[in-house]
Structure 1
Amino acid sequence: MSSTSLTLLFFVGSVVVSLASGCSSPYQQVGGWCIFVNVSISQNGPAPLINSWFEARELCQASQGDLVSFDDETKLHAVSEHINLNEESIGGWRYWVGAHGSNRQWQWVNNRSVNLDSNIWLPGEPSVSATMQHGRLVPADTVHGRLYLVSVDDATGFATGYICERQ
């Protein structure tokens, strides 16, 4: 099965939920927010098909949203739980999210500051770099059952998915 058809199957499956939740397709209501989690999967498992944060952001904007901003830790927990509950179709991968910055000056795509001391970050993150970096959500801890934010250099970064939010 191609990556397009798998994404389409997930998209079609989300339409029913989206219509019932008040979020327009392809978004689903997750903890009070309209969220769309997209994962690119090839026949051989996860494939790094989302090559850049910029590509992921364009895809979110094309669906009338933007990359998700976790300026509320409750939202991170709700999205992590949603991904864990849907593990077979969207769980276990790395996702582009709306954080970006350099030199410990980070912000979300909604222009709010990213709290660098928050526990949304994997311990030791974000890395200190003069180059622009972007946020990626990764599964790093099964004990707490949630995802963590890490910083990624554009030159080396890729993700198997992305998470969009519609206001």
Structure 2
Amino acid sequence: MQVIGLIKAGGYGPVDIIGSSGGALAAVNAALEAPDLVRRVIADSFEGETTLKAFTQNVVEDREASKRDENARMFYYYMHGDDWEQVVDNDTEAIRRHDETIGRFFHKPLETLKPDILMTGSKEDEFICALEPGFFERVYGDMIRKIGHGEIHLFDTGGHPAMLSNPEAFLERSRRFLES
């Protein structure tokens, strides 16, 4: 709703939205909620329609470990300020609770998605594909069948998110999609 509010407040639209990981879920939900304001969506490196228990567990464990890593601590501080640890803990807890209580990411049926969509990911994504080889092919393929249109592009190499681990290739693929 914040994305939609920003689009409306700025008098923008229809817009193209690019989201990665959790941001991909927000982008798809914005397109489901306000298809008249969203022209195209690029959804990168996300779990699909439902939570993965192993992914949630990995996030919880990785976040705890990252708080002991100096580089991660500096990143968190840079991104969130003095209360970075509380921000990280609150976000991690929200992910865990969502997994336990809701489990679904989209508030409307995917069959109602009108904007064009490109789903991207890396076949080497350490958070998702390590849990199930071929995950993106299966999950994104199921989603495209429900939506009835859209494209999938998977990078052979790179980590999570694909847009950061494959910046030049992601930019080129995104341009082709947005200009089509």
TM-score (norm. length: structure 2): 0.24
Q: Is the helix fraction higher in 1 or 2?
A: 2
Greater strand proportion: 1
CA radius of gyration, larger in: 2
What TM-score results when the alignment is normalised by the length of structure 1? Answer: 0.26
